[in-house]
Amino acid sequence: MNLEALLRNVEKPSRYIGGEINTFQKEITDNTIRFAFAFPDIYEVGMSHLGMQIIYRLLNEQDNVYCERVFAPWVDMEAELRANNLKLVTLETKTALGDLDILGFTLQYELSYTNILNMLNLAGIELLSKNRNEKDPLIVAGGPCVYNPEPLADFIDIFFIGEAEELLLEFIEVYKLYKDKKISKHDLLIKAANIEGLYVPKFYEPEYNEDGTMSGYKVTEDVPKVIKKRIIQDFDSGFQLESMIVPFADIVHDRAMVEIFRGCTKGCRFCQAGMIYRPVREKKPETIMDNVEKIMSSTGFEEMSLASLSTMDYSQIGPLVKDLVGKYEMDNIGVSLPSLRLDSFSVDVVKDIQKIKKTGLTFAPEAGTQRLRDVINKGVSEQNISDTFNSIFSLGWHRVKLYFMIGLPTETTEDLDGISEIANLGTYTFKQLKPEGVKKSVQVTVSTSCFVPKPFTPFQWMGQDDIPTFRQKIQHLRTKLINRKVVYNYHDPETSLLEGVFARGDRKIGAALLRAFELGCKFDGWHEYFRYDLWRTAFEETHLEMGFYNTRERAYDEYLPWDILDPGIHKSYLVSEYENALNAVVTGDCRDSCTGCGVNVQIIGGDCYGNA
Amino acid sequence: METLRILYTKDSYMRFLGHLELMKLFERVFRFNKLPLKFSEGFNPIPRLTFASPLSVGYSSKAEVMEVILNSEISIQQVKDIKFPNGIKVLDAQFINCKHSLMSKLEFAEYILKVEYDSKVEQLPFEEWVESFLNEKEIFYEKKTKRGTVKAVNALGQIHDMKLLYNADNEVVFRVMLQTGSNGSLNPEKLVDIFGSHYKLNQKAVNIDVERLGLYFTKNGTLTNLYELSEEE
Ligand code: SF4
């Protein structure tokens, strides 16, 4: 059976057909470097990812590069491929992945790692780096999870640390020499390792102490001792995304995405993105307006979203939103904001946008008490929360979603109770206001996720809560959140504990990953496919202990697997931030005054905003 | 307010687009090609697109018909020049003045059915079978109604024409004209099924490739392409 016949047997075949508006069909010659952007989840998830859109256009605008796409096939498609002995192919030209030059995976979340192995396997490519040769494609990876690359170090040839735009093009230049057979694969890897921001794990051998902790890396070739992350210095004038692929299937974020700034200055201590994407770099409003115009007039999207880590913190967000709404309202194009701050300013901005649609708003207080919010440095006060409730309900909203984390450092029962107090404050405020014209009754949805400590955050040393502790906390909340107008959703702890293993794992756990894949684990981030029992077996069989990686507390002087990377933030800064956390001492927004994280010295070699 | 009617193809990989996906695609393509779309009133303004007959996922078509309401007329050439993904092509377009809805007037659809069986069928008398099949008065099949109940429908009342085009190896190709529309439809794959069981075929159809050739209504007793539907009908 060929691909077309098999597409009849799967659900949503449009996931696999390609040919969407603004995709590329390029002439392929002997000199064409053939790259596939590989997303280890299904089409609907991968196509919602802005990074994919950026890399796709950036690479395809190069003459001698053809970038195609491939996503994890859903289980029905995988079964068809395997039953018919067909290989996993790209969407654009239906080329088997093994026939390409470079496969670039993006690591957005740890629970997609088995899908990477599964995709390689479906393409008939050897999983372990050391078993691949010059005939095989080079397997590279980027994305936020590369800030601890070690769990995947046995499988991936090169990791891209930091923002890839400039880095990829530099790498392509070197790859050309290899493609032209001027250098060997070994020389290619040596040259790559000497490009700032590229980590070639094969040249760095982990060394361990007797207790299983690491003592460091043995550098086996003439390559840098530490790998520094890369950033785009001039975000406003660098590569601009001016068009996007218009997806077919009903994807998760089915709208235009326009990036307005990178980085974040809030300094939330649990947030890895806030640490690794520093410093903040904004685009000028003119640049943004221009990007939007070009994207809208080549895609036909009916909605645009202003993307960033914390959109409300864009210095000119108010005027920008006004301008966009003013310009696009006539064409029935909506503006959406991905994240709202808990303050009246955010509500002011959003009320212009959602004039008609009162679909419900989402906020993230993250923790239930002021004390715990100070611990995590989430700059939200009780006043902010009650003001926000007041303004949204008087403006006519009656539904609100609140996100919290459980398992934060120093958390007590009082902090959990605080979550229910905030929810009750919401319903109470609504009843006090009795907003006119709102006939529906109030609904507050509380969602809790289980906290996963991440590398390069002040919490990178702490032990994660274990499963029974998380269960107890969830049970406690279930008995507390009994208000009939409050809905409580929670994430199961098992997935977070596994995420915790990979977030702070070392190279050894690659063996458990491989075993789990062999046992049939895939789509671990999908509730219906997550098999914690198989994962436990995989760890037992490879004589590894999950607890060593997730629930164990580390000492400050322990060498951590990701210490080989330098995201620009001083370890001493992270230590002092952890100490501050334990003492519930807050650290201000560094836009107002530099708090000395080190990015200015390490990465920019100058000031972050002239105040650093 | 102007109604633009478009005749287009849906084939190669685009046959795998679902109906909702197809509608979204048309909307977005119209939007960035700056067609003066007329939006519905109300909370959530949406453009007004109607499709004559949703095509099942996997079926291709040589002639589909859809309409879109615009605020003002634009040049037909501009419409014909609109670029869709490979497989969707505007064949013709016209502004019409016609109060009838496509859906209510549609009566028949013509298909080519390529049926692949799990073993040889070329020895079987398909030619005669088709002839005798059409001479039958009634062959009932069960159909689920919208309410979830099952009713018996006479398939022969829904077949306007059926011809055998080809029969070799494992493959048989038919050309059929079947009832389609608000008064009832016969699914082409169902027809293959009914035909097979009527002649007690041991071979199983493993793959049915369906191509729609056109959509029709009756005008003065003759079948006419739905694209030609006008006010007088
Ligand atoms: S160097 Fe200072 S201003 Fe720059 S990101 Fe770090 S704390 Fe913020």
A525 CB near a chain B CB, below 8 Å?
no
Cβ neighbours, 10 Å, residue B60: 20
Is there a domain that residue B213 lies in?
yes
Q: What pTM was computed for the model?
A: 0.94
Q: In the predicted model, is pLDDT for residue A365 greater than 80? A: yes
Those residues with Cβ within 8 angstroms of residue A149's Cβ, 6 or more apart along the chain or in another chain: A141, A156, A159, A161, A199, A201, A562, A565
Structure tokens of B101? 């809805």
Give the range of the structural domain holding residue B17, as residue numbers without chain letter. 2-97
Cβ neighbours, 10 Å, residue A364: 18
Tell whether B92 and B186 lie within a shared domain: no
Q: Does the beta carbon of A608 lie inside 6 Å of ligand 1?
A: yes
Asked which of B73, B97, B121 is the last residue of a domain, the reply is B97
Is there a domain that residue B233 lies in?
no
Q: CATH number of the domain at B18, please.
A: 3.30.70.580
Q: In the predicted model, is pLDDT for residue A147 greater than 50? A: yes
The rounded distance, in Å, linking the Cα atoms of A534 and A538 is: 6
The rounded distance, in Å, linking the Cα atoms of A534 and A515 is: 9
Instruction: Report the atom number in ligand 1 closest to the C-alpha of A569.
Output: 6
Contact yes or no for A298 and B57 at CB 8 A = no
Nearest in space to A327 (alpha carbons), one of A283, A360, A288, A362: A288
pLDDT digits (tens, 9 = 90+) for A267-324: 999 999 999 999 999 999 999 999 999 999 999 999 999 999 988 889 999 999 999 9
Tell whether B116 and B217 lie within a shared domain: yes
Is there a domain that residue B144 lies in?
yes
- List where CATH 3.40.50.280 sits in chain A: 3-228
The rounded distance, in Å, linking the Cα atoms of A589 and B102 is: 61
By percentage, how much of chain A surpasses pLDDT 90? 85
Q: Which residue of A has its CA nearest to B36?
A: A331
pLDDT of residue A549: 98
Could you tell me the distance, in angstroms and rounded to a whole number, from the CA of residue A594 to the centre of ligand 1?
A: 5
Contact yes or no for A301 and B28 at CB 8 A = yes
| Interface-testing mutation among B10, B23, B25, B48, with chain A (most A C-beta atoms within 10 A) | B25
Backbone angles phi, psi at A361, to 5 degrees: -120, 155
The rounded distance, in Å, linking the Cα atoms of A243 and A365 is: 35
Average pLDDT over residues A549-557: 97
Tell whether B84 and B143 lie within a shared domain: no
Is there a domain that residue B30 lies in?
yes
Q: What are the Cα distances from residue B42, in Å, to A335, A429, B46, B47?
A: 18, 30, 9, 12
Question: What mean pLDDT, rounded, does chain A reach?
Answer: 94
HEC per residue, B27-41: HHHHHHCCCCECECC
pLDDT digits (tens, 9 = 90+) for A500-511: 999 999 999 999
Q: Which ranges in A399-553 belong to alpha helices (H)? A: 413-433, 467-480, 493-503, 510-518, 532-541, 546-549
The rounded distance, in Å, linking the Cα atoms of B35 and B48 is: 12
Residues 71-90 of B with CB under 8 A from A: 85-87
The rounded distance, in Å, linking the Cα atoms of A245 and B89 is: 19
Q: Which ranges in A311-466 belong to alpha helices (H)? A: 317-328, 344-353, 370-375, 382-394, 413-433
Could you tell me the distance, in angstroms and rounded to a whole number, from the CA of residue A562 to the centre of ligand 1?
A: 21
Give bridge partners of residue A159 from the DSSP assignment: A141, A199
Domain A3-228 has CATH 3.40.50.280: yes
Tell whether B203 and B142 lie within a shared domain: yes
Ligand 1 pocket mutation pick from A265, A281, A309, A602 by most atoms within 8 angstroms of CB:
A265
Could you tell me the distance, in angstroms and rounded to a whole number, from the CA of residue A600 to the centre of ligand 1?
A: 6
- List where CATH 3.30.750.210 sits in chain A: 231-339
Contact yes or no for B28 and A356 at CB 8 A = no
Contact yes or no for B29 and A13 at CB 8 A = no
Q: CATH number of the domain at B213, please.
A: 3.30.70.3190
Those residues with Cβ within 8 angstroms of residue B148's Cβ, 6 or more apart along the chain or in another chain: none
The rounded distance, in Å, linking the Cα atoms of A521 and A529 is: 8
B27 CB near a chain A CB, below 8 Å?
yes
Burial of residue A569 (CB within 10 Å: 0-12, 13-18, 19+) is buried
Tell whether B221 and B109 lie within a shared domain: yes
Contact A153, A511 (CB under 8 A): no
Contact yes or no for A14 and B21 at CB 8 A = yes
DSSP three-state, residue B154 = strand
The rounded distance, in Å, linking the Cα atoms of A557 and A552 is: 14
The rounded distance, in Å, linking the Cα atoms of B107 and B165 is: 23
Nearest in space to A116 (alpha carbons), one of A81, A76, A147, A151: A151
Residues written for chain A: 612
Q: In the predicted model, is pLDDT for residue A609 greater than 80? A: no
Q: What is the biggest distance separating any 2 CA atoms in chain A, rounded to whole angstroms?
A: 76
Nearest in space to B113 (alpha carbons), one of B68, B167, B155, B63: B167
Tell whether B63 and B132 lie within a shared domain: no
Average pLDDT over residues A454-469: 98
A299 CB near a chain B CB, below 8 Å?
yes
The rounded distance, in Å, linking the Cα atoms of A422 and A342 is: 13
ipTM for the predicted complex: 0.91
Angle between helices A344-353 and A317-328 (to 10 degrees): 10
CA distance A19 to chain B (A): 6
Asked which of B75, B97, B119 is the last residue of a domain, the reply is B97
Residues of chain B with confidence (pLDDT) below 70: none
Contact yes or no for B14 and A19 at CB 8 A = yes
Beta strands across the sheet bearing A303-307: A256-259, A303-307, A334-336
Residues 79-108 of A with CB under 8 A from B: none
Those residues with Cβ within 8 angstroms of residue B24's Cβ, 6 or more apart along the chain or in another chain: A248, A250
Backbone angles phi, psi at B215, to 5 degrees: -115, 140
pLDDT digits (tens, 9 = 90+) for A379-391: 899 999 999 999 8
Contact yes or no for B25 and A249 at CB 8 A = no
Cβ neighbours, 10 Å, residue A102: 24
A6 CB near a chain B CB, below 8 Å?
no
pLDDT band at A611 (very low <50, low <70, confident <90, very high): very low
Is there a domain that residue B127 lies in?
yes
Looking at the 3D structure of chain B, how many domains does it have?
2
Residues 229-288 of A with CB under 8 A from B: 246, 248-250
Could you tell me the distance, in angstroms and rounded to a whole number, from the CA of residue A596 to the centre of ligand 1?
A: 6
Contact yes or no for A19 and B13 at CB 8 A = yes
Is there a domain that residue B232 lies in?
no
The rounded distance, in Å, linking the Cα atoms of A490 and A474 is: 7
Among protein residues, the one with the nearest Cα to ligand 1's atom 6 is: A597
Q: What is the CA radius of gyration of chain A?
A: 24
Residue type, A161: I
Contact A261, A237 (CB under 8 A): no
pLDDT band at A610 (very low <50, low <70, confident <90, very high): low
Tell whether B182 and B216 lie within a shared domain: yes
Give bridge partners of residue B66 from the DSSP assignment: B6, B51
Domain A231-339 has CATH 3.30.750.210: yes
Token pair 């607890």: residue? A547
| Interface-testing mutation among A6, A21, A292, with chain B (most B C-beta atoms within 10 A) | A21
Chain B residues with CB under 8 Å of A299 CB are: 28, 32
Chain center to CA of B214: 7
Tell whether B51 and B116 lie within a shared domain: no
pLDDT of residue A342: 82
Helix, strand, coil percentages (3-state) for chain B, rounded to 5, are 25, 40, 35
How many degrees, rounded to 5, is the angle at CA A339 between CA A337 and CA A340?
95
Contact yes or no for A12 and B18 at CB 8 A = yes
pLDDT of residue A395: 83
Q: Does the beta carbon of A595 lie inside 6 Å of ligand 1?
A: yes
Nearest in space to A180 (alpha carbons), one of A294, A297, A32, A311: A32
Structure tokens of A56? 């796709």
Q: Give A225-245 as a DSSP string.
A: SSEEPB--S-TTTS-------
Tell whether B92 and B111 lie within a shared domain: no
Q: Does the beta carbon of A279 lie inside 6 Å of ligand 1?
A: yes
Q: Does the beta carbon of A156 lie inside 6 Å of ligand 1?
A: no
Is there a domain that residue B63 lies in?
yes
Q: Does the beta carbon of A599 lie inside 6 Å of ligand 1?
A: yes
Nearest CB to A246; choose among B20, B28, B45: B28
Among A388-397, A469-478, A523-532, B219-228, which is the least confidently predicted range?
Answer: A388-397
Structure tokens of A113? 């790692």
Tell whether B91 and B112 lie within a shared domain: no
pLDDT band at A359 (very low <50, low <70, confident <90, very high): low
The rounded distance, in Å, linking the Cα atoms of A446 and A487 is: 6
Q: Does the beta carbon of A590 lie inside 6 Å of ligand 1?
A: yes
Could you tell me the distance, in angstroms and rounded to a whole number, from the CA of residue A456 to the centre of ligand 1?
A: 15
Among protein residues, the one with the nearest Cα to ligand 1's atom 3 is: A594
pLDDT of residue A357: 56
Structure tokens of B130? 């088709």
Tell whether B87 and B139 lie within a shared domain: no
DSSP three-state, residue B170 = coil
Is there a domain that residue B40 lies in?
yes
Q: Does the beta carbon of A597 lie inside 6 Å of ligand 1?
A: yes
Q: Which ranges in chain B belong to alpha helices (H)? A: 19-32, 76-80, 102-105, 126-135, 188-198
Give bridge partners of residue B159 from the DSSP assignment: B178
DSSP three-state, residue A331 = helix
Chain B residues with CB under 8 Å of A248 CB are: 17, 21, 24-25
Tell whether B91 and B113 lie within a shared domain: no
pLDDT of residue A330: 87
Structure tokens of A486? 């409050």
Q: Does the beta carbon of A276 lie inside 6 Å of ligand 1?
A: no
Residue type, B63: A
pLDDT of residue A612: 35
Nearest in space to A160 (alpha carbons), one of A117, A112, A107, A113: A107
Chain B residues with CB under 8 Å of A334 CB are: none
Asked which of B62, B81, B97 is the last residue of a domain, the reply is B97
Contact A102, A137 (CB under 8 A): yes
Backbone angles phi, psi at A162, to 5 degrees: 105, -160
